[in-house]
Amino acid sequence: MSRETEFPIHPQFTERWSPRALTGEAIELPTLLSFFEAARWAPSASNVQPWRFVYGLKGTPGFEAIFASLVDFNKGWAKNASALVAVISAETWLPHGTTEPLAFATHAFDTGAAWASLALQAHHAGWVSHAMGGFDAAVLRQGLAVPAGFHLNCVVAIGKQGDKAMLAEALQAREAPSPRKPLSEIVAEGRFSF
């Protein structure tokens, strides 16, 4: 079993995974927005909430703009997503009462927490979310008109899980929940001992 836990946890953590076989069916806007609602409640340093999400629904110019930035490997399967989402973060913030933007060190860390909430909410609702680092940031920035000062973290494909027979053979073999490192490789007491 690739997803046995060493300690009991809520099953949402092991039941969520990132399939690539997607049906391409339409997603209702309130459903998609509910995933961003979950992301909205993530914690962030000073409650700055640096995350920004730009989505495109399949069949719209917004979808095409995000899709165009993907590497060919991701284009091969993400074409069947119901929506594509660019996960963006603000690199600076304006502390209360100031006018000079300051570097915001945890923009990517905080936005990662928001993406995790999005992924879990999508899973709860019976949808798949699959993050992709394989995209051309310059193409995405231009396609979505993202200004300087905002970092493009990843693109997320959202869809309903489909039959893995629709995937190329090499991908069919990988279409399964993946294992994780043991706790002993990622947790230490008192001293960094990895």
Contact letters (x/-) for ligand FMN, 119-158, by CB under 6 A? ------------xxxx-------------------x----
The distance of closest approach from Cβ of residue 30 to ligand FMN in the complex, given in angstroms and rounded to an integer, is: 25
Residues facing residue 159 across a β-bridge: 128
The answer to the question of residue 193 lying near ligand FMN (CB under 6 A) is: no
Q: Cα(91)–Cα(151) distance, rounded to whole angstroms?
A: 7
The total number of residues written for the chain in this structure: 194
Q: How far are the Cα atoms of 25, 68, 161 from residue 166, in angstroms, in the given order?
A: 14, 21, 11
**Residue 80 beta carbon to ligand FMN: minimum distance, rounded to whole angstroms:** 13
Among 96, 118, 92, 108, smallest CA distance to 44 is for 108
Rule CB under 6 A: choose which of 17, 48, 75, 146 binds ligand FMN.
17
Shortest distance (Å) from residue 190 CB to ligand FMN: 29
Least spacing, CB of residue 96 vs ligand FMN, in Å: 31
The two tokens of residue 87 are 């996960």
Torsion of CA 49, 123, 22, 37, to 10 degrees: -30
Helix (H) or strand (E) segment spanning residue 85? strand 83-90
Q: What string marks each residue from 153 to 182 as x (binds ligand FMN by CB under 6 A) or -?
A: -x----------------------xx----
* CA 188 to the chain's CA centroid: 28
Q: Is 76 in the site for ligand FMN (CB under 6 A)?
A: no
**74: contact with ligand FMN by CB under 6 A:** yes
Is 9 a binding residue for ligand FMN by CB under 6 A? The answer is no
Q: How far is the CB of 102 from ligand FMN (least distance, A)?
A: 26
Work out how close the CB of 174 gets to ligand FMN at its nearest, in angstroms, rounded to a whole number: 9
Q: Is 72 in the site for ligand FMN (CB under 6 A)?
A: no
Gap between the Cα atoms of 133 and 131, Å rounded: 7
User: If DSSP codes are grouped into helix, strand and coil, which group holds residue 188?
Assistant: coil
C-alpha dihedral (69, 143, 35, 122), degrees to nearest 10: -20
Q: Which residues bind ligand FMN (CB under 6 A)?
A: 17-18, 74, 131-134, 154, 177-178
